[in-house]
Structure 1
Amino acid sequence: MDKVTVNKLLNRSTKPTSMRILVYDFLVTQNVALSLSEIEEQLFTADRTTIYRTLKTFEEKGIVHSIQENTTTKYVLCDDECSESTHKDWHLHFYCKICKQTTCRENILLPNQIEGDFRIDEIRFFAKGICENCLDESLQ
């Protein structure tokens, strides 16, 4: 059992079950957001419902954030600043129309100081276009 993963889950008040460890360890190796179906394809021995419940628990605990793409939800690990009450997800989510990958672009940020007598818990900042890899391939 990976002690780093177990500690990450325990630090988020999440019981480290074997499925949660499996899903977390898989997500930590990914650099793109993945849908439930894409995760299920990679964890083919796991039950879809259990994976879904794990992702929902992770989202509630600030371990993953979800990105809505039309009718599909994709999941990616959160930064350490996220918590149960607030996802610090104030960066651009970029969908490439060619390779169909969604990535977090943390170098493109929304302002984190917005004046007003209100509290923002979540902002969805989403763009579609062509990623640098696909642009490079089209120029060759």
Structure 2
Amino acid sequence: MDKNNRSSTYVLKQAKLSNTKIRKSILEFLMENHGPFSIDEIHKQIFDCDYATVYRCIKKFEECAIVSRCDFGDNISRYEYKDLNHHHHHIICRSCHKISTVEYCFLKEMEKMLTDQGYKDVSHALEFFGICQECQN
């Protein structure tokens, strides 16, 4: 349940959010499962919770920088737990829409260069698109 020794209770407390059963369930799902996930996908995993509550929780998590929103150009917002100790990108199959993780990031050096130039809170987003091996066959 803990990711990098951080429990959902700890993360909610650090964000100064109340530790409700629903918030904890949603956050634990995101911490335990690598996303990103749409609101619909999250809602299907959380029992005893309506769609609007999931949406409000995710929006609050995004405001508090607990989750990151991923936009793959298909008008579906997806969210994943923002693990500050793990940075990655995604590659999305144009055919079946499978999302895979790209662990290597060459942009860290560029971020450092920009920080050295005086910029603060530098971040980036980079997504790749292609056709997966299964769809090529």
Give the TM-score category using the shorter length: 0.7 to 0.9
Alignment of 1:58-137 (within 5 A): 58-70=61-73, 71-80=75-84, 91-111=88-108, 112-115=111-114, 116=117, 118-119=119-120, 121-131=122-132, 135=133, 137=134
**Structure-2 separation of matches of 1:14 and 1:130:** 41
Two-structure CA RMSD over aligned residues (Å): 2.8
Report how far residue 29 of structure 1 moved: 2.3
Deviation at 1:32, TM superposition (A): 2.6
Judging by fraction of residues, say which structure has more strand.
Answer: 1
The change in CA–CA distance for 1:97 and 1:32 in structure 2 (over 3 A counts) is: farther
Q: Are 2:9 and 1:10 equivalent residues in the alignment?
A: no
For structure 1, list consecutive stretches of 5 or more residues without a partner in the other structure: 82-87
Which one-letter code corresponds to 1:72 in the other structure? I
Using the size of structure 2 for normalisation, the TM-score is 0.74
| % same residue | 26
Q: Given that residues 32 and 104 in structure 1 are in contact (C-alpha distance below 8 angstroms), is that contact kept between their aligned partners in structure 2? A: no
In the TM superposition, what whole-angstrom CA distance separates every residue of 1:31-58 from its partner, at most 9, and x where no partner exists?
Answer: 2311111111222531111101111111
Cα separation, 1, equivalents of 2:91 and 2:36: 10
**Cα deviation 1:41-93 (Å, max 9, x = unaligned):** 22253111110111111111121101012211100111135xxxxxx96x422
**Amino acid of the structure 2 residue aligned with 1:110:** L
Equivalent position to 1:27, from 11, 26, 30:
30
Q: Structure 1 stretch 96-105 or stretch 4-13: which is displaced more?
A: 96-105
Q: How many residues align?
A: 128
Q: Which runs of 5+ in 2 are unaligned?
A: none
> Greater share of helix residues, 1 or 2?
2
- 1:27 Cα deviation (Å)? 1.2
- Preserved contact between residue 89 and residue 126 of structure 2 (Cα < 8 Å): yes
CA contact (8 A) 1:94 1:128 kept: yes
